[in-house]
Amino acid sequence: QLSMSQPSPERVPSPEEQEWAGPEALCPGWLEDEAPDGEVPGDSGDPECATHAYERLQSALCQEGLPPTLDCSAEPRTGFGPLDMTVCILGSPIPFLPVLLEGGTRCPGAMVLCLSPTWASRVPSESSPGAWSLLLSRGVSFKLGGHSALETFVPPRRANYVTGTFAPGDPEGGWVGELARDLDCPTGGSVPLAHRLEDTLVTRWVLAARANLPVPPTLAFVLGARGDLPAEPAVPGVRLVRLQDPQGQQSLVQQE
């Protein structure tokens, strides 16, 4: 704890004042100007998205008995170079909170949570032609004891590893997948991979046909032609029935 017994020329902010004060701390200037089409520059839904994500993070930290995030964005962090470790988590903080907390303990300051597409930018990679580097201008970093801080980085901080919420049904999946596409650093997934992993039929077909692993007996009805599946998958335990129209095929379904 900081001692308050000694006089200080500057007033020490209270924890409530240090805590996030509103959307302006997350997306500075997002209410100032509007684009010609009436949308906020960069991303029209971003301020609300970042605000809700930040509030979810604070709620999760509170439930874990951890201190709230401090707003340190007024004093930009400097001195980060290409060799500094930066593990970037894109999107919702909840699924990756254990990873963020553990990473903050093992490597304080290296775990950076990005809650908004306006907090990061993609630039052509200097080391891998055709690829992109992800630069973070803002993020929530995690340190020892579950402490976290909202920080700005000048110059932007380069990500060495990127993962996030690539779930197709997640409302943040769009911008997360776009930021993580074709990067010059390792990534923990992608939107196409998430699509395949969440498809039970494809997953079982790959396990049975490619890895020769037993799968539960599966009877699958699919509509139309699916290019990601063979016409006649010869897979033990998996039977695929294609329906051109779900109407009027009750007898076929019952027969199968």
The pLDDT assigned to 97 comes to 95
In the prediction, which pLDDT does 245 show? Answer: 73
Interatomic CA distance for residues 57 and 68, integer angstroms:
9
Beta 132-142 vs 111-114: how paired, if at all?
antiparallel
The contacts of residue 121 (CB under 8 Å, 6+ apart) are: 134, 135, 137, 156
Looking at residue 84, its pLDDT comes to 87
pLDDT of residue 3: 40
Q: pLDDT tens digits for the chain (256 residues)?
A: 334 444 434 344 444 444 444 444 454 443 333 333 322 223 334 556 788 889 999 999 999 999 999 999 999 999 888 778 999 999 988 989 999 999 999 999 999 999 999 999 999 999 899 999 999 999 999 999 999 999 999 999 999 999 998 876 555 558 999 999 999 999 998 888 887 777 888 888 888 877 888 889 989 888 776 766 766 656 778 888 888 776 778 888 888 8
Distance CA 134, CA 193 (A): 20
Reading phi first (left if > 0) and then psi (alpha if -120 to 50, else beta), residue 182 is in left
pTM over the 0.85 mark: no
Dihedral, 209, 214, 215, 217 alpha carbons, nearest 10 = 100
Amino acid at 247: Q
C-alpha 68/C-alpha 45 separation (Å) is: 25
- Contacts of 119-124 spanning 24+ positions with Cβ under 8 A: 119/50, 120/88, 120/90, 120/159, 120/179, 121/156, 122/179
Enclosing H/E stretch for 50? helix 46-63
